[in-house]
């Protein structure tokens, strides 16, 4: 009996010992499960478009702490709701010295969580939709299902070719500049003008070593002939996003890339 009891205790201790290194990375497992849901987009997600764009999670997996662990950043605001809570991330345009420009030019992203602390909705405000129109944003999200995973870079590279092309007007440079104001600089890249903007995430308690994630460098590529926005890339709350719009409405071979 004593021998059996000892073996049982030893087995439990061994399981706990093996589980300890994984405990800090369990959020990656939940993120991976959410990624798998993307392969059956309509079963697990729903898109709602009004003044903002909202991705609704039908069977949520991720917890609020998972987002902090993944991004290493906290939300700008946290407010209780009737069925849980809402986190809001504010991104405000800054000058070369990192000072917020006045009058403010800003956009936000909201995360809504239920009473079990699992995410139920992810929203993007209207200003963000000026550079990522709803139809383009939706097809980009749909393309994540089945995306190639680069484990070393913790990056997803989606193949949008299987989704087919969509009929949508690309944002024009004049309209984008009207909403975002003048860029910090303009880089010349052959047949493209790349407008570079800086936005600062309003946050607190940044984890040491991740201070650079507070700043978003937004790169917008405009075709010199058509003046259309052809590519958008930037890091938003720790998540790097790069969308080549030409792959969605044109003939370019690349697609959306997302990484942490």
For the chain, counts of helices (H) and of strands (E): 8, 14
Residues 29-45: pLDDT tens digits?
888 889 889 889 999 99
pLDDT digits (tens, 9 = 90+) for 73-89: 999 999 999 999 999 99
Question: What confidence tens digit (pLDDT) does each residue in 162-194 have?
Answer: 556 778 889 999 999 999 999 999 999 989 999
- 222 within 8 A of 195, measured Cβ to Cβ: yes
Q: How far apart are CA 236 and CA 219, in angstroms?
A: 12
Who's near 103: CB < 8 A, 6+ residues apart? none
Instruction: Tell me the β-bridge partners of 234.
Output: 241
């Amino acid at each position: 009996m004593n021998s059996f009891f000892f073996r049982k205790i030893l087995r439990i201790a061994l399981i706990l010992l093996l589980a300890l290194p994984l405990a800090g990375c369990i959020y990656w497992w939940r993120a991976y499960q959410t990624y798998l849901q993307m392969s059956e987009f309509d079963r697990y997600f729903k898109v709602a478009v009004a003044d903002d764009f909202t991705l609704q999670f039908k069977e949520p997996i991720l917890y609020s702490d998972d987002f902090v662990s993944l991004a290493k950043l906290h939300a700008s605001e946290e407010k209780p709701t009737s069925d849980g809570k809402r986190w809001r991330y504010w991104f405000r345009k800054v000058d070369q010295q990192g000072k917020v420009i006045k009058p403010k030019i800003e956009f936000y992203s909201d995360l809504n969580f239920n009473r079990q602390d699992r995410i139920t909705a992810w929203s993007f405000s209207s200003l963000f939709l000026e550079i990522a129109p709803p139809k383009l944003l939706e097809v980009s999200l749909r393309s994540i299902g089945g995306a190639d995973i680069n484990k070393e870079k913790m990056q997803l590279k989606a193949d949008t070719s299987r989704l087919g092309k969509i009929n949508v007007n690309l944002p024009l440079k004049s309209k984008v500049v009207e909403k975002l104001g003048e860029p910090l600089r303009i880089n010349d890249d052959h047949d493209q003008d790349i407008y570079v903007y800086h936005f600062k995430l309003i946050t607190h308690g940044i984890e040491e070593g991740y201070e650079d994630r507070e700043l978003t460098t937004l790169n917008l590529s405009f075709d010199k002939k058509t003046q259309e926005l052809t590519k958008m890339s930037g890091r938003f709350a720790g998540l790097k996003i790069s969308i080549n719009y030409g792959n969605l409405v044109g003939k370019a071979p690349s697609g959306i890339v997302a990484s942490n």
